[in-house]
Structure 1
Amino acid sequence: MKKLLLAGTALTVLFGGSALAADLRRPAYTPPPPVYSWTGFYIGGNLGGAWANGNVNDSLFGLSASSNRSGFIGGGQLGVNYQFSNIVLGAEWDFDWTSLEATGNGRFVPGVGTLQGSANTRWISTLAARFGVVLNNGVLLYGKAGGGWVDNNATVTNLNTGASISASNRNSGWVVGAGVEWAIAGNWSAKLEYDFLKLDDLTFGPGPFRGDTFTASREIQMFKVGLNYRFGSLFGGGYGGSY
């Protein structure tokens, strides 16, 4: 009887130990990370640099001058995204203040004097469609295209007489851009973005003589870093969906 009891105990220990060893060798189950969804409304801020290239042409004398200038840009953005599969479509409006301002070298015009031009851009705003591809969980590569508006002022001054002519208006044009955005924590995301804005020509005058007008053409390049807060999916939840 004792021998049977000892044998049963040995078998129990043997098979129980084998089962325990198998459990120890089996890796613990780890649930997959939640899948980030870009769907929802968002608001954020941005800052960076802007570079403007432009030309001013005089209609009467055929004079032409060009200028390149750079400055600070900063403001905010408001937008909405909708994600299906790994495609993200949306729209974004942004508004930025700028420090773009420049004064050109004076240019002598016989019989008139030395003319000097200056210009500044106070703010830039764009409204564009966004279209992107999710590269992996929480990383979005996107492009954008739409319209842009600026508030600007241009002045031409006769340095000999002190007389000047100027124009201030809100000029428009088209914008294209591209960027990458990362989900960083909860509903927060960070982005890097490049935009190119081509403005319509701005004509102002008359100049020192009847029929004399000035035409300015400009394009602005912008590089910005930004931070967005998304107000959750249109269908609820900060994470969800699959691709």
Structure 2
Amino acid sequence: MKKILLSTVAFVGLTVSAAAADLPSRAAPAMMAPVPVFTWTGFYVGVNAGYGWNANDNNDLVDPITGIAIGGGGDDGGFVGGAQLGYNYQMGMFVLGAETDIQYADLGNRIRFEGLGVIDNGSDNEFFGTTRLRAGVAFDRFLAYATGGVAYADSNFGWTVGAGVEYAFTNNLTAKVEGLYVNLDGDDDRNFGIAFAGNNNNEFGVVRAGLNYKFSSY
């Protein structure tokens, strides 16, 4: 009887062990790395190109002695291109940043003197730069922003304001389109005994497209 009982217990144990071996594995599933959410935060560098045009209001010229108008000016435009460097910081939907750029500008405000033809008034700048703050609202990879700050060219300084839109094609590559108005202080030009009737500020507008590489911030 004892042998029969022991044999039965052993048989039951082997059966339970075999059944347990056939049960599906309860191992924890493999963890998937979360996909990083896009952010505008980070440093970036880029290039830009576009068109600029003079918007000077100093087109009327007068003889300083007689006060008689003797000529006028024309607003010229041309190629604008350069490079930029900046940093953005995103807080929810809002993006704050700073950007500086250096630009080549093929602009020149030429003045027509009666009887003397057309000469350069000396106010065109082949190079100019800006240092600006940017503030915008982000809709995922789309950013709309306003910008403003200081502008400079040669020994002249002034200010600039503008706005733009930017889109991130990848986590690192973005493209933008923006417009700027630039106003640089200038001295009165009295060459040939001639003076401007108004101020001699160098004012111009710029519309440009740019491509930026944003360094990863995660």
- Please give the range of the TM-score, normalised by the shorter of the 2 chains: 0.7 to 0.9
Give 2:88's aligned amino acid.
Answer: N
Evaluate the alpha carbon distance shift between residue 203 and residue 104 of structure 1 in structure 2; reply closer, same or farther with a 3 A threshold: closer
The residue number in structure 1 matching 2:54 is 52
**2:30 maps to which residue?**
none
Q: Which has the larger radius of gyration?
A: 2
Q: Tell whether the 8 Å contact from 2:128 to 2:151 is kept in structure 1 after alignment.
A: yes
Q: Secondary structure at the match of 1:203?
A: coil
Which residue in 2 is equivalent to 1:92?
A: 99
Q: 2:85 matched to which residue of 1?
A: 78
Distance 1:52 1:32 in 2: 51
The equivalent position to 1:101 in structure 2, one of 102, 108, 114, is 108
Q: CA deviation at 1:102?
A: 4.7
Equivalent of residue 36 in structure 1, options 35, 38, 42: 38
C-alpha distance 221-174 of structure 1, shift in aligned 2 (>3 A): same
For 2:80, give the aligned amino acid: I
Which residue number in structure 2 is paired with residue 147 of structure 1?
150
Structure 2 unaligned blocks of 5 or more: 1-32
Deviations 1:165-219 (A, max 9, x none): xxxxx322110010011011231100000001122232233x445xx65562331
1:189 aligned to 2:177? no
Q: Let me know the Cα RMSD of the aligned residues.
A: 2.3
CA distance in 2, matches of 1:202, 1:79: 32
- The one of 132, 135, 141 aligned to 1:131: 135
For structure 1, the residue ranges without an aligned partner over 5 or more in a row are: 1-30, 109-113, 152-169, 238-243
- Per the alignment, in what secondary structure is the counterpart of residue 121 of structure 1? coil
1:92 CA drift (Å): 0.4
Q: Percent identity?
A: 36
Detail structure 1 runs of 4+ shifted over 2 Å in the superposition: 31-35, 56-59, 61-66, 101-106, 114-117, 212-218
Judge conservation of contact 1:87–1:133 (CA < 8 Å) in 2.
Answer: yes
Aligned to 2:125: 121
Letter in 1 for 2:146: G
CA contact (8 A) 1:53 1:66 kept: no
Q: 1:225 to 1:208 in 2, by over 3 A?
A: closer
Q: How many residues in Structure 1 have an aligned counterpart in Structure 2?
A: 177
Q: Select which of 205, 211, 215 maps to 1:221.
A: 205
User: What letter corresponds to residue 132 of structure 2 in structure 1?
Assistant: A
Q: Which residue is equivalent to 1:12?
A: none
TM-score (norm 2): 0.72
Could you say if the C-alpha distance between residues 216 and 116 of structure 1 is closer, same or farther in structure 2, counting changes exceeding 3 Å?
farther
55-64 or 193-202, which deviates more: 55-64
CA distance in 1, matches of 2:207, 2:131: 16
